[in-house]
Structure 1
Amino acid sequence: QIINKYIRKFDPDAQIVSEEGFGDKPISMAGHVWFVDPIDGTMNFYKQHDDFAIMIALYIDNQPILGWIMDVVNNIVYHGGPQMGIFANQLRLDPPENDALNQGIVLLSGARLLYGMFGYDEIAKSALGYRVIGAAGPSFIRVLRGQAVGYSSKMMSWDFAAGQVLAKTLGLIVSDIDGKQLDMLSSNIVLVATNRAHRDILALHRS
């Protein structure tokens, strides 16, 4: 409610898509559309007291403009956009290395990995290693920092909107699991990865 109140104060004509139900229900991406996830990784927040985030993003006419992911525990805000670059607080981030799937760690949705959905089991086997973080924001951060070559999970738009802004600005590929553009107003099986890992993962998913 606090975040939405401030957005409405300085951008009163904008629409807000928010997880907790305090936003709007836009039917198009025309104009200013904000995405707000006040607690990403609720179970992690409640049980681990770690690996959760606050995420905000601005899109204008369906174009990614600005994104913020706050690593609350470590007090680091990952922020920026295509016009300014990406920063961790005041430190500018360089694009991560373009490693292939077998050269790095892949992050996957635990439930879908457990049941072998979307080829996740083969993707995990083909990677150097795999992890289940259980939250979108911390997982996006690891890919942005080059600590993982890819991340895939089923997400709502507030889960991936900020991460997509930051990832695309750093030259990472963001798509659905079939390699198609994400629908910003519905749930998607999201894949963010380096160019090489993205290609590897799509090949495994399709096989």
Structure 2
Amino acid sequence: MAIWHEVDQSVKQWLKEARNSIVESLEHALDIQTKSDANDLVTNVDKETEQFFVKQIKEHYPDHRMMGEEGFGDQVNDLEGVVWIVDPIDGTMNFVHQQRNFFISIGILEDGVGQLGYLYDVILDELYCASRGKGAFFNEKKIAPLQEGNINEAVVGFNPASIHSEQTARMFIPLVKDIRGARSYGSAAMEFAYVATGRMDAYISLQLSPWDFAGGKVIIEELGGVVTDLQGNPVNMLEKSSILAAKPELHKQLLPYFQSR
């Protein structure tokens, strides 16, 4: 569809413009605030970046709706038509403390079906993207489809922030013993990107918001991977959800660790 090519070109241009602003902002003091708790950070740059995307989308695609983490978009209660799901800075704690390892994440859906996905490493200027039915790309180079994986050779990403009790921690112990290695990078978008390119084999989180996984879901599925909740159910793109994103065969091997608990 012609519109998706046009939207794709627009997004890539806007990401570059957003990068310029974000990189420049690192030369100045950040206005850092907390949201739900001391670990849930938001900065003026998160807000300004989301407002930038709201402005661009409304100006160029007034019939589209946008749901963003910081609440500057639309109140989206259904997935009819075209809906953009945007995280202006995924990995805000990394942004604040490290000034690296944070991403812009964008998923664009039409009637609930993912059409375009973008995961953008701002500091490294690396773009992972996918267009439904046309493949996924890393900096314009096509990414090979995901191959079958085995649990005893798997490197799996976890979100330790969601393991907040002894009960949930114990749920992961048998799995950690069976896999080759575990990693945590502090950005769901980064971990989705690493699964897409084979740097990791799976990513698991007990709770993510739609803006955390929308862009990554489009890319992983375009590569033949599987993204569900931990019970193997389709994820609701309007609600928080647990996430299991993995190579196809590995996804099947990982599900039993969670379905019996």
* Superposition TM-score, scaled by structure 1 size: 0.95
* CA apart distance, 1:110: 0.7
The question of 1:125 aligning with 2:197 is answered no
Instruction: Please give the per-residue CA displacement for 1:50-108, whole angstroms capped at 9, x wherever unaligned.
Output: 22100111100000000111011211111122232111121111013311222120001
1:27 paired residue among 77, 90, 104: 77
Higher RCO, 1 vs 2 (CA within 8 Å, ≥6 residues apart): 1
- Distance, in Å, in 1 between the alignment partners of 2:83 and 2:162 is 30
Q: CA shift at 1:126, angstroms? A: 1.6
What is the distance in 2 between the residues matched to 1:109 and 1:76?
Answer: 22
- Of Structure 1 and Structure 2, the greater strand share is in 1
The structure richer in helix per residue is 2
Size of the aligned set, in residue pairs, is 207
Shift of 1:114: 6.1
1:32-181 correspondence to structure 2 within 5 Å: 32-113=82-163, 115=165, 116-117=167-168, 119-153=171-205, 154-181=207-234
Which string of whole-angstrom CA distances, capped at 9 and with x for unpartnered residues, describes residues 107-141 of structure 1? 01113446352822322222110011111111001
Gaps of 5+ in 2: 1-50
Percent identity, please.
Answer: 33
Matches of 1:111 and 1:55, distance apart in 2: 19
Q: Give 5+ residue unaligned stretches, structure 1.
A: none
Alignment RMSD (CA, Å): 1.4
Could you tell which deviates more after superposition, 53-62 or 89-98?
A: 89-98
Deviation string, structure 1 residues 163-184 (Cα, Å, up to 9, x no partner):
0000000000000010000001
Q: Aligned match of 2:249 in 188, 193, 196? A: 196
TM-score by length of 2: 0.76
Letter in 2 for 1:102: N
Runs of 4+ in structure 1 off by over 6 angstroms are none
Amino acid at match of 1:135: S
